[in-house]
Amino acid sequence: MTHVQSQTLIAVRDVPASSRWYAQLLNLETTSEAMASDHAHLYDRLLSKGSLVLQLHAWDEEEHPNLMNRAAAPVGHGVLLWFEVDDFDAAVERAATLNAKVLREPLVNPAPAHREIWLEDPDGYVVVIASPDGEAPRLERGAPRAIREASGAIAPRGT
């Protein structure tokens, strides 16, 4: 089997500000801190233990296809930036410290049996932080409805 590693890149309005936001939220290193560059205001890479997690690039710079004309499409339409972290509770606290806009409060996703919180980043991208699969108790369909509602696995009646 071939090794594949995602190298997701998103276009942002302010690379240094977005880099700080993601670095703090996900406890990442930035290449702009490690390497002096006159390019850091246009592009940055975020790493976890030396592995690439996310790339940030300024809109409308360097004429890259799909990174031009920011007004041409809604930001991130159809895209979820999904990150698994091994310190979910701490990540939720970091999101609060950042005053991140919360789209969905922490909940248990019953299929992978993990916890999630859905946020919006400073550019309007949807960011999902998840704990490792199997980390949360599995809430089977037969579990009492009140438990599944309290965990966020299903919506409460009447909503």
Tens of pLDDT, residue by residue over 107-150, are: 999 889 999 999 999 999 999 999 999 998 765 544 555 555 65
CATH class for domain 1-73? alpha beta
Stretch(es) of the chain classified as CATH 3.30.720.120: 1-73
Tokens of 97: 């410290």
pLDDT digits (tens, 9 = 90+) for 53-86: 999 998 877 777 776 677 777 778 788 999 999 9
Tally Cβ neighbours within 10 Å of residue 101. Answer: 13
Strands laid side by side in the 114-120 sheet? 80-84, 126-130, 114-120, 101-109
CA distance 81 to 36: 27
Stretch(es) of the chain classified as CATH 3.30.720.110: 74-159
DSSP string across 109-126: ETTTTEEEEEEE-TTS-E
* CATH code of the domain occupying 74-159: 3.30.720.110
Please give the model's pTM, rounded to 2 decimal places.
0.79
